[in-house]
Every structure is written in C-alpha cells, then in structure tokens.
Structure 1
Amino acid sequence: MMYDVCVIGSGAGAGPIIYELSKQGLKICVLEKGDIYNEKDFSKDELVVRRPIYTPNLKDEYHTIEEKRENEWVKFPTYESGWSFWNGNLLGGSSNFMSGYFHRLKPNDFKLASTYGIPKNSNIVDWPISYDEMEAYYTKVEELVGVSGEVQKYEFSEPRSTKDFPYEALQENKIVNLIDKACDELNYKSIKTPRAIISSAKGHRNPCYYSNYCGSYPCSSGAKGSSRASLIKDALLTNNVEIIANAFVVKLNTSKDKKINSATYLTKEGRKKEVKAKLFVVAAQSVETSRLLLNSKDENFPKGLANNSGNVGKNFLSSSGGIVSATFDETNMNLKDLQEAGLFVNRSLLDWYYTKEFKTGTIDILFEHANPIRRASFLRWNESELLIGEELQNKIFETFTKTRTLNMEIFVDWTPNDDSFVSVDEKYKDKYGIPVANIRIGSHEQDLRASKFLEEKAIKLFEKMGGKKIISDISPLPSSNLLAGGCRFGNDSKTSVLNKYCQAHEVSNLFVTDASFMPTGGSVPFTWTIYANSFRVADYIKNNWKNLIT
C-alpha cells in the first residue's frame, strides 16, 4: 500500500502532524518503535517505571557517550553506567512521562545571537522564525492538548492573544503560601506554573485525580497532555490512521530523484519490512532522529540522508542546570497540610530569565517525586556509614511521615558548540546489528555560569522559607530527558539541515518535527514548543500538499 504520509515516532513532534493531516483526509501510517498502551494499562507501580518495559534494555539497545576527562575525550556505552537516553518507546513517546511544565519561549529566545551576541566557541544563531509566527500555535496547544493555569504578568512575560489558559489551575498544596510569602520578602515574583494537565474533563479524557504519581509516570486518567491521549486518540476516529507498533525504523531509502520512497523497519522479532509513502515525517526524538538519518546512507547520500552538507547531528542540545533541594517539617507548617499527597506546588520563578549581561533561565518548584523505593534506598547511608535494621527502619519512618522534600529545578539554555553532537560509530551496534548513536556532551562555560547564578537565588529562597538540609546538584552534564538539536532549521542550507518549515533542504519529501529542529532550546522544557512547531509544520504541509508530492 502507498500511504500519503509515513510518520516515524508518535510523541509531541508527531502528534500534531498525525492529528491535522488525518483530519485533512490524508492516509497516515505511524511507525512506533514501542508498544501501544492505554490508560487502563498504566499503574502507579514504581517497579514498572524502573524496569525496561517502556524503554529498551540497555544491554540490547544502548548509546555511547563521549565525555571529556582530563582534557581527553573518553567513550563508553550507556549499559556500563545505566545512564539512559531512551525516554519512552510506546505510543505517545516520552510525552506520556513528562511533568507537563508548559512555559512558552520568549520573543528574545528566537533571536539570541542578535540580542546578546555570539559567545566565543559557541554556535548560537537566531531562529529563521519569530515568536509572532509561533504565538497562534502556542494558543492552539493550550486548547487541543490542554493547559491549565492562571496567566500572571511579570517582567519577561510574553505577549498573548488570549487572556488566560483554557483550564483552571490545578489544586495546590498549602506549601505554596510559604513559598509566596518568602518570595514577597525577597522581592521575587512567584508565578503559577502552567501545566499540560487538565483540571476538568475534555472529551474522552478525565481530569486529574491527584494520584501523587505524575512526573515520570504515565497518566491513568488521560489528564496529562500526552500526544497519545490528547491528539492521536482523536486522530484514530478519522479512520485515516494506521499505527504499526514495535516497528524500529532503521533506514530511509531514496530513489534517483533524491526523494524518500520507503522506510525499512524491523519487527520485534528482527524481520525486515517496508512502508511506502509520498511524504515522510521523522519525529523519533533528537538523538534517534540523527541516528536514523546518519544510518540511511546510499549513493545519493553517502554521509547519511540529508547530510551532504555535513550538518546532521551537529549542535546537539540539552538543558543545563540542576536541582536544589531542601526538607520541610512541622516547624515550617502544619504537618497534615505538608503531607497532603497529590496536590501540586505549581510555582515558577522567571525574574532573571534575562539580565543585562547574559541569559539565565527558569526555576520550577515541585515536591520530590513519590518513588518510595528509590527514596528509601537513599536513606541506607548516613554519610559513609551503612544503616541496617531498626536504625534504618526508624530513619525511613521519620522521613516518610514527618518531612517532605521540595526541589527547585533549574532550566538554563544549553549553548550549542562544536563539541556537542550526535554521530554513529560502526564499532558499536545494537542487538539488531545497527550502529548506535554516539553522543558527545561538550558543554559551554556560559551554561554553568547561568546555572550558578540561579542556584544562588534558589538557596536564598529556601533559607528564607526555613528549609533544612539544603543540597545543590548543579552540573554541566545534559539532562537525558531533555534532548534537542541535531537537525537545526535555518535559511542557509550550508549551515542547517532543514528550512524554516522543517523540510529538509536536500530531500523535498522529508520533514523533521521533533526537537531536532531547534537551534537553541530556551531556558524551559521543550515540549510546548515542540507541539506548537509541529502544528505550524502541519499547516504548511496541508496548505502545500499538491506541490510537495509532485
């Protein structure tokens, strides 16, 4: 069968494409590496999340990491450390597991180079589009994916075409009163964090029921705005979508006209199959998208698909920053209120998103994820002493019943640079014999500077709140669940992979709609921008369909 569109992946970058094009009447084939699960399949079992059920076993499918140690690049496979860059192989991808912090990029995020200049040893460029071109699509995501919150003005708040979010803010734990009071005293501005979690019913989706297991867990009510729950379920009602699960795409094949004519995928058993389509959209998440293109070599593209310019894999992005933590107990507030499970914190600080000298970022405040097994395991040690028996039992009991840990997650731009990229190495192959992605994680000194700046602000807030055991973990290493870049878009085909509509410069029937397109990531989680951009690209494809397939 010849499909109109073949979509590789089903997460935030794929969902809008599937939704919009299927409603246009186009026949869509979705190739998803993982399985299909639904709300009834999602339990709040920590063991399910920790085991390789939603992600591959690293002994079978891994990545290699290149890290600089003593001025020398050292390569090691991820199965040695357990450091996984797989974020969800199932229908809806990693959008099933997000915490749903939905901040828009700011207008200056689209023009960092012209606003702040280009730091030495960086590859910062302005985007080929502006905030104004994205605003309507941010608004579309609010309604279709579902965003809850309360719009509050602050110094760097972005222009909006609507006055408020379509869903009321989620219920909050009373610790927000302590946060707000301390912020007022420090002259900080705490704002309610927009969340892609609906507070009232929407179609087949139920509202949040405050399970206390949200971040890192798939949602069993449909409240969380995953691509699967918010878009793909509705797209399936058109009868124009076929989903092929457990389909690991290993190569995109081109014909003499340098267009893709088919995608080769492996079944769970390792059998090779092909899908033919007129147009292909890749949204496999940044690392795996670069890997697929680099592995798709043929006589037209000997260095990899759409890579005759040598740009595929370059300028890999993550998010710099880290976490500052503190514990709270009955000396800070009423213990019953503090321990009330499931209610959100939903507070963010963006007072320093821009400074006169440099860009910093965002602080999102949340309780430590529930994860009782993981939390208890950390309590085994009292500095270097291993605790056992009654002493360990008492420590676990006191910690779980009389304290609560609050985290401040710091998000700072990852500055693109020559030592941050994705490549493939024929020496390292997965269980199917396919070269795995190699991730070089060279960071830029600017990122750590910005992270440390926000760390000081976070510590001051915790001190003002009376937090105890304040611990900071700020690192130049990438966050493995925030991946972008590798196929940056731009107007110049010599320095970018995609044009402003995320269409490959060198392959006219190829679009890339995950976070790979981003030249810079902003100082917020990427998901809202991925969704918005994918809706923008879907509009372009719909409006230019006949020209794209001729």
Structure 2
Amino acid sequence: MIYDVCIIGSGAGAGPIAYTLAKEGKKVLILEKGDIYTEKDFSKDEIAYSRRDIFTPNLKDEYHVIEEKIDGKWYKFPTYETGWSFWNGNILGGSSNFMSGYFHRLKPKDFKLKSTFGKYEGANVVDWPISYDDLEPYYDMVEKVIGVSGEYTKYEHAEPRSSKNYAYPRLKEHPIVDLIDKACEKLDYVSYKVPRAILSKNKENRNTCYYSNYCGSYCCSSGAKGSSRASLIQPIINSTNITIIQNAFVFKLLTNKNKKIKKAIYYTKDKIEKTVEAKLFVVATQAVESSRLLLNSKNSDFPNGLANLSGQVGKNMLFTGGGQGSAIIDTKILSRDKLFETGFFVNRGLQDWYFTKEFKGGSIDFLFDHANPIRKALRLKSDDNGNLLFGEELQDKIYKNFTKSRVLNFEIFTDWMPNDDCFVSIDEKYKDKYGVPVATIRIGAHPQDVKVGNFLAQKAIDVLKQMGARDIKSDISPLPSANLQAGGCRFGNDPKKSVLNKYCQSHDIENLFVTDGSFMPTGGSVPYTWTIYANSFRVADYIKKSNLI
C-alpha cells in the first residue's frame, strides 16, 4: 500500500499532522519507535518511571555521543559511560507524555530577535520567516484542542490573544501561591499565573486532573495531561484513515530519480528490515534524532545528508539555557496543614524581564520538588560534609525533611543562543545495536546564556528571601537540559542558509516536511512544546490545502 502521508514519530510535532489529515480523509501512517500504551497502562511507580526509565532505550544498546570542551579541546563521551540520556520517551505520543505541561507562548519580538537586539557576537541569531500573527490562531487552537488551563495575567510583556482567556479554568493551587503573590507585590514584580496543558475539567474521553502529585516525568493515567497521544492520536486511533506501526525504528529515507522521498526503511524490535511507501513524508522524531535520520540518509544526490544541500542539517541546535535553584519552606512560614497539602499546583512564574532594554531576558517558574520519595530520601543520606549517615541520625534527618519542610524550586528559561559549536553530526565509529551510526551532539553554549541565567536567578532569589525561605541555592550552568530540544533544521526563506521553507517543507525535497522543534531558528525563553504543537497545526493546514497528496 502507498499511504498519503508517512509520519515518523508521534509526539507534539507529529500529532497535529496525523489528527488534521486523518480527519480530512487522507490515509495516514505513523511509524513509532516505541510501544502503544493507553491510560490503563500507567501508574505512579517511582521505581519504574524515575529510577529505571522503562520508556527509553537501554544506553548500552542505543546511545548518543556528547562532545564537550575541556581545557580548550573537544572530547567525545558516549552516554552509556555517563548515564546522561537524551532519550525522552519512546512511546506513542513521545516525550509529550512526560512533560510537566508548562505552556507559554512566544512573544511577538521572539520572532524578530535579530531585528530587535542586533547581532550577538559568536551567535547565529536570525529572524523567523513568519510572525507571531501567523502563529497566533494556532496557539489558540492548541488551547482548545489539546486543552490548556489557566487564567490570563496582564503584565508588560503579555502577548496579544484572540481569545480573552484560556479554554479551561486554572487548576487548583497550593496555598504557597499566596506567599509568592504577596512577596512579588512587595517587590513590585508581577506574579504570573502559569498556564498548563492539563485539564481542569473533563474533555470528551479525557478526565480532569485528579491531583496525584506525580506529574512531571510520569504518564498521565486520567488523560488530563495534553500529550499528543491522549489529545490527538487516541481520538482518531480507530479511524480507518490511520495506521500505527509500533516498534518501528526508521533509520533511512530513500529518494527516487526525481529527488523525492519514495520509501522509509525501518527495523522492527527483532531487527527485521521493512519498508513503507508514501506520497509525502513528515519527520518528527525530536530534534536530535531528526537530524540524525537525515544525515544517515545520504545518497549520491545528497552526499552530505538528505535535504542538506545547504549544509545546515544538524547545525544551530537549541536546548534550554538557564538553570535552577531551590529553597526550604518550613512550618514557620506556612502552617503544617497548608504546607503539606499534596497534589495542588504552584503555577506561578515571573516574566517581568522577558525583555530588557539591553538584552533578551527570560522566564522563571516556581514549583515544588517532584513528589518522588525515593529520590528525596537518597539526597538526605549524607551530612553537610558528605559523610554517610546511619541509624537514628539518618532517620531523624529523613523524618524532619518529610514532615517539617518542603523544597520550593525555581527554573530559569533563557533564549539559548544558536552558535557554531552546538550541532549534531554523525561519526561512523559509534553505532547502536542495529549498526546505525548514532548522533554526536556537540554542546557549546554561548556566554550570554549564563549571564542572563544569573540575572534571572537573582530575581527569583529576591522572591524567596521576601517569602522568608531558608537555605536558598542556585545552579546556573551552560550545560543544557536534555529533554528540551530544538533546531538542527531551521526554517527560513534562503535555501542556502536554511533547511526548510516557512511551511517546514524541505527546500531540496518537495515531499519532505520536518515538524518537531527542529524548525526553530531561536527558541524563545520558554519550553518549546506549545510552539511545536501550534506550528504543526499550521503546517497541517498548509499540507491540507496543497496538492501534494
């Protein structure tokens, strides 16, 4: 069978394409590397989800190679040596199953950073080929279709909206938000109510959040979290227009004499090689793996990798600049009953310095430590000098930490500066269990990332001090978070300087689109998921109206 469209991956960049085109009557094939699960398969098992990573490959079998600069020289480290995993969920719906659902839009100025702030020395900042106005209707669509809960906050950098408020009311909140709000008011900061892609009310076959306190890093067993699986794929999974092949690792795309993609080749779990044909192909396997697939698909027409006549595939990768911090909130600040209310969300942040007069700033989100008690107890096993604790001393420390205080964290999101030392490449020396070259990720951060991170961290610390928190710490680092990936196939109007056109269609190959975060030339100072969803709906509309299928 020749499908109308073959989508490789099933996460935030893939779901809207499948959802839109299947409803349009097109024959859609999804090739998913992982398994198909539904809500009844999920639990809040910390050992399974957080200690053993049952939804990601064993790093001994499938890994990445990290290139880091040490004393002026670049060194390569396979991730099976360090345990630093860049896999974020091989499962129907991909990493969107495990997100915390902090959903922020980009701002209008995010689409024209170079025009706004000029050139940063050593960074490859460019303006987007589309504007905020092009994407706004699709941000609005995501609020309604995926399900975003929140309450509009008016502040200086608030983006224009076509809907007055979010599609769903804000989620139930922990009493700590009152202290955050009061502290911000005294400091003359705006306490921003953070919207979440988590349902506060039932929606069709999805149930509202039941406030389990196990959210980030866990699949949602009620369907409240707006994963691609729950919100887009499950509603169409029984349609005759959709076919899903699980455990299909696509390792190569083949082109025909007309320089169009004709086939995708994949390995089954048992290493059996199979092929599928389609009229149109959409790659959405998360940014690192999408670049890897295109680079591994090189042929005589594309000797440097598929869709890579520009030489830009894998270049200008984006992660999340910034860092994090923490503080202890104890019963001197908030009564024990209120402090230990579990499950309710903090959902507070700061975006007062998203832009400054001198530089692009970023976002601050406040959140409690994830519930995971095993992880929390392990952090308490030593005293302040690093000596292991035993017996009553250890028991007392664990008891006090579990019953008299909680850790309130803050996370910093800055605009990762794309640069020549942050890219994905292929090294034939390093291959996975299938014999396929793995992605080598060179991680070079721009000094601006740390500068802005430290600036924002001090603002978060000011709030924590005003609240009366103790043991305040911050860790601003140039090393990225592996779970937020973008770039590598940036879109633009010039085929010599970009991989994709403004509709995320390859400049070189007419029937190839890339719709995960790879398309982004800059990432904004927020998590990428909402923008990936919105853009994928936009691209789906373009494909629907084209004559490509």
Letter of the 1:172 partner, please give it. E
Q: How does 1:8-407 map to 2 (within 5 A)?
A: 8-49=8-49, 50-383=51-384, 384-407=386-409
Secondary structure at the aligned position of 1:305 is classed as: coil
Letter of the 1:266 partner, please give it. Y
Letter of the 1:432 partner, please give it. Y
- The residue that corresponds to 2:496 in the other structure is 494
The structural deviation recorded for 1:393 is: 1.5
- Output the CA distance in 1 between the equivalents of 2:198 and 2:381: 35
Secondary structure at the aligned position of 1:485 is classed as: strand
The structural deviation recorded for 1:234 is: 1.3
Secondary structure at the aligned position of 2:456 is classed as: helix
Q: How does 1:441-520 map to 2 (within 5 A)?
A: 441-520=443-522
Letter of the 1:191 partner, please give it. Y
- Output the CA distance in 1 between the equivalents of 2:107 and 2:199: 24
> What do residues 489-541 of structure 1 show as CA deviations (whole Å, max 9, x unaligned)?
00000010000000000010000000000000000000000000000000000
Letter of the 1:5 partner, please give it. V
Normalised by the size of structure 2, how large is the TM-score?
0.99
The structural deviation recorded for 1:402 is: 1.2
Identical pairs, percent: 67
Secondary structure at the aligned position of 1:279 is classed as: strand
The structural deviation recorded for 1:238 is: 2.8
RMSD: 0.7
The structural deviation recorded for 1:391 is: 1.2
- Output the CA distance in 2 between the equivalents of 1:472 and 1:349: 16
Moved more, 391-400 or 131-140: 391-400
Secondary structure at the aligned position of 1:394 is classed as: helix
Secondary structure at the aligned position of 2:487 is classed as: coil
- Output the CA distance in 2 between the equivalents of 1:235 and 1:358: 44
- Output the CA distance in 1 between the equivalents of 2:35 and 2:388: 40
- Output the CA distance in 1 between the equivalents of 2:63 and 2:39: 28
Letter of the 2:251 partner, please give it. V
> What do residues 301-350 of structure 1 show as CA deviations (whole Å, max 9, x unaligned)?
11110012211000000011111100111100111111011000010100
Secondary structure at the aligned position of 1:316 is classed as: strand
Secondary structure at the aligned position of 1:213 is classed as: coil
Secondary structure at the aligned position of 2:318 is classed as: coil
Letter of the 1:95 partner, please give it. S
- Output the CA distance in 1 between the equivalents of 2:332 and 2:132: 45
Secondary structure at the aligned position of 1:3 is classed as: strand
The structural deviation recorded for 1:129 is: 0.1
- Output the CA distance in 2 between the equivalents of 1:181 and 1:239: 54
> What do residues 92-111 of structure 1 show as CA deviations (whole Å, max 9, x unaligned)?
00000000011000000000
The structural deviation recorded for 1:118 is: 1.1
- Output the CA distance in 2 between the equivalents of 1:473 and 1:389: 31
> What do residues 117-155 of structure 1 show as CA deviations (whole Å, max 9, x unaligned)?
010111000000000000000000000000000011100
Secondary structure at the aligned position of 1:306 is classed as: coil
- Output the CA distance in 2 between the equivalents of 1:273 and 1:417: 38
- Output the CA distance in 1 between the equivalents of 2:112 and 2:492: 12
The structural deviation recorded for 1:74 is: 0.9
- Output the CA distance in 1 between the equivalents of 2:330 and 2:240: 54
The structural deviation recorded for 1:27 is: 0.3
> What do residues 60-102 of structure 1 show as CA deviations (whole Å, max 9, x unaligned)?
1000000111111111001111100000000000000000011
State the 4+ residue runs in structure 1 displaced beyond 2 angstroms: none
Letter of the 1:456 partner, please give it. Q
Secondary structure at the aligned position of 2:53 is classed as: coil
- Output the CA distance in 1 between the equivalents of 2:24 and 2:48: 38
- Output the CA distance in 2 between the equivalents of 1:494 and 1:163: 41
- The residue that corresponds to 1:543 in the other structure is 545
Letter of the 2:501 partner, please give it. N
The structural deviation recorded for 1:47 is: 1.0
Letter of the 2:252 partner, please give it. K
> What do residues 170-219 of structure 1 show as CA deviations (whole Å, max 9, x unaligned)?
00010101100110111110011100001000000000000000011110
Find the partner of 2:420 among 406, 409, 418. Answer: 418
- Output the CA distance in 1 between the equivalents of 2:12 and 2:236: 14
- Output the CA distance in 1 between the equivalents of 2:529 and 2:206: 20
- Output the CA distance in 2 between the equivalents of 1:229 and 1:47: 24
Letter of the 2:21 partner, please give it. L
Moved more, 237-246 or 275-284: 237-246
Letter of the 1:529 partner, please give it. T
Secondary structure at the aligned position of 1:144 is classed as: helix
- Output the CA distance in 2 between the equivalents of 1:514 and 1:285: 6
- The residue that corresponds to 1:6 in the other structure is 6
The structural deviation recorded for 1:378 is: 0.8
The structural deviation recorded for 1:53 is: 1.5
> What do residues 203-244 of structure 1 show as CA deviations (whole Å, max 9, x unaligned)?
000000000000111100000000000000112243211100
Secondary structure at the aligned position of 2:499 is classed as: coil
Letter of the 2:399 partner, please give it. F
- Output the CA distance in 2 between the equivalents of 1:176 and 1:48: 31
The structural deviation recorded for 1:52 is: 3.5
The structural deviation recorded for 1:388 is: 1.6
Secondary structure at the aligned position of 1:315 is classed as: strand
- Output the CA distance in 2 between the equivalents of 1:407 and 1:329: 14
- The residue that corresponds to 2:530 in the other structure is 528
- Output the CA distance in 1 between the equivalents of 2:507 and 2:98: 33
- Output the CA distance in 1 between the equivalents of 2:391 and 2:490: 54
- Output the CA distance in 1 between the equivalents of 2:219 and 2:46: 11
The structural deviation recorded for 1:479 is: 0.8
Secondary structure at the aligned position of 1:386 is classed as: coil
- Output the CA distance in 2 between the equivalents of 1:39 and 1:392: 38
Give unmatched runs, 5+ long, in structure 2: none
Moved more, 193-202 or 45-54: 45-54
Aligned length: 547
Letter of the 2:434 partner, please give it. Y
Moved more, 246-255 or 394-403: 394-403
> What do residues 388-436 of structure 1 show as CA deviations (whole Å, max 9, x unaligned)?
2221111111111111111111000100000000001000000111000
Letter of the 2:17 partner, please give it. I
- Output the CA distance in 1 between the equivalents of 2:240 and 2:196: 31
Letter of the 2:47 partner, please give it. L
- Output the CA distance in 2 between the equivalents of 1:42 and 1:393: 32
